[in-house]
Structure 1
Amino acid sequence: MTVYDFHATTIDGRVQSLEAYRGKVLLIVNTASRCGFTPQYQGLQALYEKYRDQGFVVLGFPCNQFGHQEPGDNEEIQTFCSLNYNVSFPMFAKVDVKGDTAHPLFQFLTQACPGVLSRTIKWNFTKFLVDGDGQPVRRFAPTTPPEKLEPAVEQLLSR
Protein backbone atom coordinates (compact mmCIF):
# COMPACT_ATOMS: atom_id res chain seq x y z
CA MET A 1 0.00 0.00 0.00
CA THR A 2 1.10 3.57 -0.74
CA VAL A 3 -0.40 7.04 -0.35
CA TYR A 4 -1.44 6.72 -4.00
CA ASP A 5 -4.16 4.27 -2.92
CA PHE A 6 -6.12 7.09 -1.23
CA HIS A 7 -8.50 9.82 -2.32
CA ALA A 8 -9.30 13.05 -0.52
CA THR A 9 -11.61 15.97 -1.14
CA THR A 10 -9.86 19.19 -2.09
CA ILE A 11 -10.68 22.34 -0.17
CA ASP A 12 -12.86 23.44 -3.10
CA GLY A 13 -14.86 20.20 -3.08
CA ARG A 14 -13.31 18.00 -5.78
CA VAL A 15 -12.43 14.37 -5.07
CA GLN A 16 -8.71 14.02 -5.77
CA SER A 17 -6.76 10.79 -6.09
CA LEU A 18 -3.36 11.07 -4.47
CA GLU A 19 -2.17 9.13 -7.53
CA ALA A 20 -1.87 12.62 -9.05
CA TYR A 21 1.26 13.07 -6.90
CA ARG A 22 3.03 9.89 -8.03
CA GLY A 23 6.78 10.42 -8.20
CA LYS A 24 6.70 13.52 -5.99
CA VAL A 25 8.18 13.86 -2.51
CA LEU A 26 5.26 14.83 -0.28
CA LEU A 27 4.93 16.53 3.07
CA ILE A 28 1.46 15.77 4.44
CA VAL A 29 0.46 18.05 7.32
CA ASN A 30 -2.64 18.38 9.50
CA THR A 31 -3.20 22.11 9.86
CA ALA A 32 -5.28 24.59 11.86
CA SER A 33 -5.90 28.33 11.57
CA ARG A 34 -6.10 29.21 15.28
CA CYS A 35 -3.18 27.26 16.70
CA GLY A 36 0.08 28.41 18.24
CA PHE A 37 1.77 26.59 15.34
CA THR A 38 -0.33 28.32 12.65
CA PRO A 39 2.62 30.57 11.65
CA GLN A 40 4.23 27.37 10.31
CA TYR A 41 2.09 27.97 7.22
CA GLN A 42 4.72 30.54 6.28
CA GLY A 43 7.54 27.99 6.58
CA LEU A 44 5.55 25.32 4.75
CA GLN A 45 4.90 27.74 1.89
CA ALA A 46 8.59 28.70 1.76
CA LEU A 47 9.61 25.03 1.68
CA TYR A 48 7.10 24.36 -1.09
CA GLU A 49 8.32 27.32 -3.15
CA LYS A 50 11.98 26.33 -2.72
CA TYR A 51 11.59 22.70 -3.78
CA ARG A 52 8.42 22.41 -5.88
CA ASP A 53 10.33 22.63 -9.18
CA GLN A 54 12.38 19.63 -8.02
CA GLY A 55 9.28 17.51 -7.39
CA PHE A 56 8.23 18.42 -3.84
CA VAL A 57 4.64 19.11 -2.77
CA VAL A 58 3.13 20.07 0.58
CA LEU A 59 -0.41 18.76 1.15
CA GLY A 60 -2.39 20.54 3.87
CA PHE A 61 -5.26 18.83 5.67
CA PRO A 62 -7.16 21.12 8.07
CA CYS A 63 -8.38 19.43 11.25
CA ASN A 64 -10.56 20.63 14.11
CA GLN A 65 -9.82 17.78 16.55
CA PHE A 66 -7.27 19.60 18.70
CA GLY A 67 -8.65 22.39 20.86
CA HIS A 68 -11.25 23.25 18.18
CA GLN A 69 -8.58 25.38 16.51
CA GLU A 70 -10.01 24.96 13.00
CA PRO A 71 -13.67 25.95 13.44
CA GLY A 72 -14.22 27.49 10.00
CA ASP A 73 -15.67 25.87 6.93
CA ASN A 74 -13.50 25.03 3.93
CA GLU A 75 -14.09 28.37 2.23
CA GLU A 76 -13.10 30.28 5.39
CA ILE A 77 -9.98 28.12 5.78
CA GLN A 78 -8.96 28.68 2.17
CA THR A 79 -9.46 32.45 2.48
CA PHE A 80 -7.50 32.56 5.74
CA CYS A 81 -4.56 30.63 4.27
CA SER A 82 -4.48 32.72 1.12
CA LEU A 83 -4.82 36.14 2.77
CA ASN A 84 -2.51 35.54 5.73
CA TYR A 85 0.16 33.19 4.36
CA ASN A 86 -0.19 33.25 0.55
CA VAL A 87 -0.59 29.47 0.61
CA SER A 88 -0.37 28.05 -2.90
CA PHE A 89 0.30 24.41 -2.06
CA PRO A 90 -2.68 22.03 -2.30
CA MET A 91 -5.14 22.22 0.57
CA PHE A 92 -7.80 19.65 1.25
CA ALA A 93 -11.16 19.69 2.97
CA LYS A 94 -11.24 19.48 6.75
CA VAL A 95 -10.70 15.91 8.01
CA ASP A 96 -10.32 13.97 11.23
CA VAL A 97 -6.81 12.60 11.74
CA LYS A 98 -7.34 10.46 14.85
CA GLY A 99 -9.93 8.14 16.33
CA ASP A 100 -12.58 6.03 14.67
CA THR A 101 -13.44 8.80 12.21
CA ALA A 102 -9.85 9.41 11.05
CA HIS A 103 -9.44 9.75 7.30
CA PRO A 104 -8.02 6.50 5.89
CA LEU A 105 -4.91 8.36 4.68
CA PHE A 106 -4.08 9.38 8.24
CA GLN A 107 -4.81 5.87 9.53
CA PHE A 108 -2.22 4.65 7.01
CA LEU A 109 0.33 7.36 7.85
CA THR A 110 0.13 6.80 11.60
CA GLN A 111 0.53 3.04 11.17
CA ALA A 112 3.53 3.52 8.88
CA CYS A 113 5.18 6.21 11.00
CA PRO A 114 4.08 5.91 14.63
CA GLY A 115 4.78 8.65 17.11
CA VAL A 116 7.26 8.40 19.95
CA LEU A 117 4.85 7.12 22.59
CA SER A 118 1.82 6.18 20.49
CA ARG A 119 0.60 5.99 16.92
CA THR A 120 -1.98 8.74 17.30
CA ILE A 121 -1.47 12.29 16.18
CA LYS A 122 -1.30 14.44 19.29
CA TRP A 123 -1.65 17.96 17.85
CA ASN A 124 -1.92 20.22 14.81
CA PHE A 125 0.99 20.50 12.38
CA THR A 126 2.20 16.91 12.68
CA LYS A 127 4.13 16.33 9.46
CA PHE A 128 4.62 13.13 7.43
CA LEU A 129 7.35 12.97 4.80
CA VAL A 130 6.57 10.61 1.92
CA ASP A 131 9.08 9.46 -0.70
CA GLY A 132 8.59 9.46 -4.48
CA ASP A 133 7.29 5.89 -4.33
CA GLY A 134 4.41 6.92 -2.05
CA GLN A 135 5.92 5.39 1.09
CA PRO A 136 5.85 7.33 4.37
CA VAL A 137 9.43 7.58 5.58
CA ARG A 138 9.42 9.95 8.54
CA ARG A 139 7.17 11.74 10.97
CA PHE A 140 7.94 15.16 12.43
CA ALA A 141 6.41 16.63 15.59
CA PRO A 142 4.27 19.77 15.55
CA THR A 143 7.12 21.61 17.29
CA THR A 144 9.52 20.90 14.38
CA PRO A 145 9.61 24.03 12.22
CA PRO A 146 9.36 23.43 8.46
CA GLU A 147 12.83 24.80 7.78
CA LYS A 148 14.32 21.98 9.88
CA LEU A 149 12.91 19.51 7.34
CA GLU A 150 15.08 20.77 4.49
CA PRO A 151 17.86 18.15 4.86
CA ALA A 152 15.33 15.29 4.86
CA VAL A 153 13.49 16.77 1.85
CA GLU A 154 16.75 17.27 -0.05
CA GLN A 155 17.82 13.70 0.69
CA LEU A 156 14.61 12.28 -0.78
CA LEU A 157 14.72 14.58 -3.78
CA SER A 158 18.27 13.43 -4.58
CA ARG A 159 17.28 9.75 -4.80
Structure 2
Amino acid sequence: MDSIYRFNAQLASGENFSLQTLQGKTILIVNTASKCNFSVQLGGLEKLYRQYQEYGFTILGFGCNQFGNNEPLSGKALAEFYQQQFDVTFPIFDKVMVNGPESHPLFNYLKSHTRGIAQNRAIKWNFTKFLINSEGQLVARYAPRTKPETLKMVIESNLHDKAGPFQFAKI
Protein backbone atom coordinates (compact mmCIF):
# COMPACT_ATOMS: atom_id res chain seq x y z
CA MET A 1 0.00 0.00 0.00
CA ASP A 2 1.42 3.37 -1.07
CA SER A 3 1.70 5.91 1.77
CA ILE A 4 3.68 8.82 3.16
CA TYR A 5 5.37 6.52 5.68
CA ARG A 6 8.29 5.85 3.35
CA PHE A 7 9.50 9.46 3.61
CA ASN A 8 11.88 11.21 5.99
CA ALA A 9 12.30 14.94 6.50
CA GLN A 10 14.55 17.19 8.51
CA LEU A 11 12.98 18.93 11.50
CA ALA A 12 13.85 22.58 12.06
CA SER A 13 16.00 21.35 14.97
CA GLY A 14 18.18 19.50 12.46
CA GLU A 15 17.01 16.00 13.44
CA ASN A 16 15.98 13.52 10.78
CA PHE A 17 12.33 12.52 11.21
CA SER A 18 10.73 9.37 9.79
CA LEU A 19 7.09 9.81 8.87
CA GLN A 20 6.72 6.10 9.64
CA THR A 21 6.58 7.11 13.32
CA LEU A 22 3.20 8.72 12.58
CA GLN A 23 1.45 5.48 11.61
CA GLY A 24 -2.11 5.48 12.87
CA LYS A 25 -2.37 9.28 13.06
CA THR A 26 -4.44 11.65 10.94
CA ILE A 27 -2.06 14.29 9.59
CA LEU A 28 -2.37 17.73 8.04
CA ILE A 29 0.74 18.69 6.05
CA VAL A 30 1.16 22.40 5.29
CA ASN A 31 3.84 24.41 3.50
CA THR A 32 4.29 27.51 5.65
CA ALA A 33 5.96 30.91 5.47
CA SER A 34 6.37 33.42 8.30
CA LYS A 35 6.11 36.56 6.14
CA CYS A 36 3.14 35.39 4.06
CA ASN A 37 -0.23 37.13 4.39
CA PHE A 38 -1.65 33.70 5.26
CA SER A 39 0.74 33.28 8.21
CA VAL A 40 -2.14 34.19 10.54
CA GLN A 41 -3.36 30.67 9.76
CA LEU A 42 -0.58 29.35 12.00
CA GLY A 43 -2.72 30.32 14.99
CA GLY A 44 -5.73 28.47 13.56
CA LEU A 45 -3.60 25.43 12.77
CA GLU A 46 -2.30 25.39 16.33
CA LYS A 47 -5.85 25.55 17.65
CA LEU A 48 -6.80 22.49 15.55
CA TYR A 49 -3.69 20.68 16.72
CA ARG A 50 -4.47 21.31 20.39
CA GLN A 51 -8.12 20.36 19.97
CA TYR A 52 -7.48 17.02 18.23
CA GLN A 53 -3.96 15.85 19.13
CA GLU A 54 -5.21 13.61 21.94
CA TYR A 55 -7.36 11.80 19.35
CA GLY A 56 -4.40 10.94 17.10
CA PHE A 57 -4.14 14.10 14.98
CA THR A 58 -1.01 16.04 14.14
CA ILE A 59 0.08 18.87 11.88
CA LEU A 60 3.41 19.01 10.07
CA GLY A 61 4.57 22.48 9.05
CA PHE A 62 7.22 22.72 6.32
CA GLY A 63 8.85 26.11 5.83
CA CYS A 64 8.92 27.12 2.16
CA ASN A 65 10.53 30.14 0.52
CA GLN A 66 9.41 29.47 -3.07
CA PHE A 67 6.52 31.93 -3.11
CA GLY A 68 7.34 35.62 -2.80
CA ASN A 69 10.45 34.89 -0.71
CA ASN A 70 8.10 34.83 2.28
CA GLU A 71 10.21 32.48 4.41
CA PRO A 72 13.61 34.05 5.15
CA LEU A 73 14.10 31.91 8.27
CA SER A 74 15.42 28.37 8.48
CA GLY A 75 16.41 25.80 11.07
CA LYS A 76 15.89 26.55 14.73
CA ALA A 77 15.18 30.23 14.01
CA LEU A 78 12.16 29.17 11.95
CA ALA A 79 10.68 27.01 14.72
CA GLU A 80 11.43 29.62 17.38
CA PHE A 81 9.71 32.38 15.40
CA TYR A 82 6.58 30.24 14.90
CA GLN A 83 6.53 29.40 18.59
CA GLN A 84 7.08 32.99 19.75
CA GLN A 85 4.73 34.70 17.28
CA PHE A 86 1.97 32.08 16.94
CA ASP A 87 2.46 29.78 19.96
CA VAL A 88 3.00 26.84 17.58
CA THR A 89 3.74 23.52 19.27
CA PHE A 90 3.15 21.13 16.34
CA PRO A 91 6.25 19.83 14.53
CA ILE A 92 8.02 22.34 12.29
CA PHE A 93 10.35 21.09 9.60
CA ASP A 94 13.21 22.92 7.96
CA LYS A 95 12.62 24.72 4.69
CA VAL A 96 11.87 22.58 1.67
CA MET A 97 11.20 23.11 -2.01
CA VAL A 98 7.68 22.03 -2.95
CA ASN A 99 7.96 22.53 -6.74
CA GLY A 100 10.68 22.05 -9.31
CA PRO A 101 13.59 19.65 -9.69
CA GLU A 102 14.73 20.09 -6.06
CA SER A 103 11.25 19.49 -4.63
CA HIS A 104 11.17 17.36 -1.48
CA PRO A 105 10.09 13.77 -2.32
CA LEU A 106 7.17 14.01 0.13
CA PHE A 107 5.71 16.96 -1.78
CA ASN A 108 6.30 15.20 -5.11
CA TYR A 109 4.25 12.31 -3.72
CA LEU A 110 1.49 14.63 -2.49
CA LYS A 111 1.31 16.48 -5.80
CA SER A 112 1.28 13.24 -7.81
CA HIS A 113 -1.83 12.08 -5.91
CA THR A 114 -3.89 15.30 -6.10
CA ARG A 115 -4.60 18.31 -8.23
CA GLY A 116 -5.02 21.88 -7.11
CA ILE A 117 -6.39 24.99 -8.76
CA ALA A 118 -7.41 24.45 -12.41
CA GLN A 119 -6.49 20.77 -12.05
CA ASN A 120 -2.82 21.70 -11.84
CA ARG A 121 -0.52 19.46 -9.79
CA ALA A 122 1.95 22.24 -8.87
CA ILE A 123 1.58 23.97 -5.52
CA LYS A 124 0.63 27.57 -6.22
CA TRP A 125 1.30 29.30 -2.88
CA ASN A 126 2.11 28.96 0.81
CA PHE A 127 -0.36 27.27 3.15
CA THR A 128 -1.52 24.59 0.73
CA LYS A 129 -2.85 21.84 2.99
CA PHE A 130 -2.85 18.05 2.52
CA LEU A 131 -4.96 15.81 4.75
CA ILE A 132 -3.57 12.31 5.33
CA ASN A 133 -5.61 9.49 6.89
CA SER A 134 -4.44 7.12 9.61
CA GLU A 135 -3.14 4.69 6.98
CA GLY A 136 -0.79 7.32 5.53
CA GLN A 137 -2.85 7.93 2.41
CA LEU A 138 -3.79 11.29 0.98
CA VAL A 139 -7.45 12.15 1.56
CA ALA A 140 -7.70 15.72 0.23
CA ARG A 141 -5.85 18.84 -0.80
CA TYR A 142 -6.93 22.32 0.28
CA ALA A 143 -6.09 25.70 -1.21
CA PRO A 144 -4.09 28.32 0.72
CA ARG A 145 -7.24 30.40 1.30
CA THR A 146 -8.90 27.47 3.12
CA LYS A 147 -9.05 28.51 6.75
CA PRO A 148 -7.98 25.85 9.26
CA GLU A 149 -11.23 26.05 11.23
CA THR A 150 -13.22 25.00 8.15
CA LEU A 151 -11.44 21.61 8.23
CA LYS A 152 -12.88 20.50 11.60
CA MET A 153 -15.57 18.20 10.20
CA VAL A 154 -13.27 16.47 7.72
CA ILE A 155 -10.61 16.02 10.41
CA GLU A 156 -13.19 14.56 12.79
CA SER A 157 -14.46 12.21 10.09
CA ASN A 158 -10.92 10.85 9.67
CA LEU A 159 -10.24 10.29 13.37
CA HIS A 160 -11.25 6.78 14.35
CA ASP A 161 -10.61 4.36 17.13
CA LYS A 162 -11.22 0.60 17.19
CA ALA A 163 -14.89 1.11 18.05
CA GLY A 164 -15.54 3.55 15.18
CA PRO A 165 -15.64 7.33 14.77
CA PHE A 166 -14.87 9.46 17.81
CA GLN A 167 -17.63 11.58 19.27
CA PHE A 168 -16.47 15.13 19.87
CA ALA A 169 -17.88 17.55 22.35
CA LYS A 170 -19.19 20.76 20.81
CA ILE A 171 -16.72 23.51 21.57
- TM-score, length of structure 2 as denominator length: 0.91
1:101-120 deviation digits (Å, cap 9, x = unpaired): 11000000011111132000
Q: Which runs of 4+ in 1 moved over 6 A?
A: none
Alpha-carbon distance between aligned partners in 2 of 1:100 and 1:152, rounded to the nearest angstrom: 32
Map 1:31-110 → 2, pairs under 5 A: 31-110=32-111
Output the aligned Cα RMSD.
Answer: 0.8
Q: How far does residue 126 in structure 1 lie from its aligned partner after superposition?
A: 0.2
Is the Cα contact below 8 Å between 2:117 and 2:143 reproduced in 1?
A: no
- In the alignment, what sits opposite 2:131? 129
Quick check: which has more Rg, 1 or 2?
2
- In the alignment, what sits opposite 1:120? 122
1:42-78 deviation digits (Å, cap 9, x = unpaired): 0000000000000000000000000000011222211
- Gapped runs of 5+ residues in structure 2? 166-171
In the comparison of the two structures, how many residue pairs are matched? 159
Is the Cα contact below 8 Å between 2:63 and 2:74 reproduced in 1?
A: no
Question: Which amino acid in structure 2 is aligned with residue 145 of structure 1?
Answer: K
Q: How far does residue 25 in structure 1 lie from its aligned partner after superposition?
A: 0.1
Give the secondary structure class of the aligned counterpart of 1:120.
coil
- How high is the sequence identity, in percent, across the aligned residues? 45
Alpha-carbon distance between aligned partners in 2 of 1:25 and 1:123, rounded to the nearest angstrom: 23
Alpha-carbon distance between aligned partners in 1 of 2:126 and 2:63, rounded to the nearest angstrom: 9
- Gapped runs of 5+ residues in structure 1? none
- TM-score, length of structure 1 as denominator length: 0.98
